[in-house]
Amino acid sequence: MKNNIKVQRAIYNLTQQELAEKTGVSRQTINALEAGKYVPSTVLALKLSKLFEKPVNEIFELEKED
């Protein structure tokens, strides 16, 4: 699953730690998300969507192998 969390985080001028605190996860989870090593829960995807004021499908994109 591709995502543009790092780009959105930069637009909002947030560190990984700040984003983690705003979404209730660890900084390591944000790091893993950005690296494509972790698929978020529905709740986390919705929290990110709300925070970045974007639909979920503008933040996350399924790839052919998903």
Instruction: Print pLDDT tens along the chain (66 aa).
Output: 899 999 999 999 999 999 999 999 999 999 999 999 999 999 999 999 999 999 999 999 988 877
Give the predicted TM-score (pTM) of the model: 0.90
Residues in the chain: 66
CATH number of 2-57: 1.10.260.40
Q: What is the pLDDT of residue 46?
A: 98
pLDDT for 17: 98
- Return the exposure string of 20-34: e unless at least 16 CB atoms fall within 10 Å of the residue's CB, then b: beebebeeebbeebb
Domain boundaries in the chain?
2-57
Q: Which pLDDT score is estimated for 25?
A: 98
pLDDT of residue 65: 77
